[in-house]
Amino acid sequence: MSAPNKSYDPVEVEALKPEEIERLRDEALAAFEAAADLAALQEAKVAHTGDRSPLSLANREIGALPPQAKKEAGQRVGQARGAVNKALAERRAVLEAERDARVLTEEAVDVTLPFDRAPRGARHPLTTLSERLGDIFTAMGYAVAEGPEVEAEWLNFDALNMGPDHPARSTQDTFFLKDATGHSTDGVVLRTHTSGVQIRSMLAASEPPIYVICPGRVFRSDELDATHTPVFSQIELLAVDEGLTMADLKGTLDHMVVSLFGEGMKTRLRPNYFPFTEPSAEMDMVCFNCRGESVGNPDRPCRTCSSEGWIELGGCGMVNPRVLIACGIDPNRYSGFAFGFGIERLLMFRHNVEDMRDIVEGDVRFTLPFGMEI
Ligand code: DAH
């Protein structure tokens, strides 16, 4: 049995020489320091601390040393490896901090950048107001009836008790149509009101009851200015049933203005003339702004109603029996009431719009503040 190799001198083992261990350590530290990013550091780590790195190989040599030499060599290599691991951890911390800082700036989201480059636009307040009116009446059981904008003269005038020689016919500044060859087309006009849809509804129904509202665009040969437009919107209502009276008309109008402007609103009727209604009336509603309190009260003038307390809304009346007869309805059994008004005017009052042109020109800067009422 051979004696322990007491004469084995660790200094003689090339890899464990103090200068060599120092050199390996310094090499590792220099490599970590030189690593510019975490990937390079990982490579340096494998090269200098991995299983096949010079320091690991030197460490393995220790096992072969005699016991009394192991300690010193172990200390030397252990210190070197400790310094290497410490340097590695420190360099990693530095590089990770650099990476985090870079990611924060490179991948930062600028929340102040405009995110929506295609502006969303807005529904036109005429549309929403007319739909709101539609809701009020459909909730009461009315149906919405629509008709063509190019209308037969008979439906636009004659059936409404405005025969060819009726003076009222010429007061509605009518657009008459020409055909493609430039010749006027007999009997066809751009509708001057939606009342023709009332006639269509009565002709289409086999028998009353009839409860319809007729919203739509109408045309009159007016110049576009602050208070006129050749194309505007109306909503008309027609009810035909047994036993309807002017009280039903008044109650319906009052309900409408309360629904639009709130409790306490009411309407009043003033005598007027329309060929298609008898009796006929002009309808006013209490000024929703001052509720009448500006009347005779110079300290509280109201711009909305010019301190008159009332706002003129439109026309109404009991359907003229001649109109019922033209539509094949027996006026001895049935009666009807109707009203109609312009939606632009209502919009102007309701939202203090001072110039009609703002409503028709379609500039989104006008429609946007009304929001997206649906
Ligand atoms: N059609 C009328 C106009 O455009 C408004 C109107 C008045 C409609 C009285 C009606 C009504 O239904 O009963 O001037």
pLDDT tens, residue order, the chain (374 aa): 444 545 555 455 777 888 889 999 999 999 999 999 999 999 999 999 999 999 898 888 888 888 778 888 888 899 999 999 999 999 999 999 999 999 988 888 888 887 766 767 788 999 999 999 999 999 999 999 999 999 999 999 999 999 888 877 777 788 888 878 877 777 899 999 999 999 999 999 989 999 999 999 999 998 899 988 999 999 999 999 999 999 999 999 999 999 999 999 999 999 999 999 999 999 999 999 999 999 999 999 998 899 999 999 999 999 999 999 999 999 999 999 999 999 999 999 888 898 999 999 888 888 888 876 55
207 and 321 fall within a common domain:
yes
Q: How many domains does the chain have?
A: 2
The CA 99 to ligand 1 mean position distance, Å, reads: 76
Look at ligand 1, atom 8, and give the residue with the nearest C-alpha.
340
| Distance in Å, CA 173 to ligand 1 centroid | 15
Asked if 148 and 250 sit in the same domain, the reply is yes
Mutate to test the pocket of ligand 1, among 274, 337, 344 (most ligand atoms within 8 A of CB): 274
Task: Give yes or no: residues 42 and 149 share one domain.
Answer: no
Residue 5 lies in a domain: no
Q: Is 112 among the domain residues?
A: no
Ligand 1 centroid–CA 27 distance in Å is 100
pTM of the model: 0.69
Q: Which atom of ligand 1 is nearest to the CA of 337?
A: 13
Establish if 117 belongs to a structural domain: no
Whether residue 78 sits in one domain with residue 138 = no
List, in sequence order, the alpha helices (H) in 183-340.
195-204, 246-261, 321-326
User: What CATH number does residue 245 fall under?
Assistant: 3.30.930.10
* Ligand 1 pocket, residues with Cβ under 6 angstroms: 193, 195, 236, 274, 277, 314-317, 338-340
Instruction: Please report whether residue 180 resides in a domain.
Output: yes
Side-chain-side CA neighbours of residue 30 (13 Å): 6
Contacts of 49 (CB under 8 A, 6+ apart): 28, 55, 56, 81, 84, 85, 88
Taking the centre of ligand 1 as the mean of its atom positions, its distance from the CA of residue 232, in whole angstroms, is 14
Domain match, 225 and 324 both: yes
Q: Is the same domain home to 155 and 195?
A: yes
Nearest atom in ligand 1 to the alpha carbon of residue 340 is: 8
Query: What residues make up the domain containing 208?
Result: 125-370
Same structural domain, 259 and 166: yes
State the distance from the centre of ligand 1 to the C-alpha of 129, rounded, in angstroms: 19
* Same structural domain, 100 and 218: no
Nearest atom in ligand 1 to the alpha carbon of residue 218 is: 4
Strands (E), the chain: 143-144, 150-152, 176-178, 184-190, 210-219, 231-241, 267-274, 277-286, 310-319, 335-342
Which ligand 1 atom is nearest residue 317's CA? 13
Does residue 364 lie within any of the structural domains?
yes
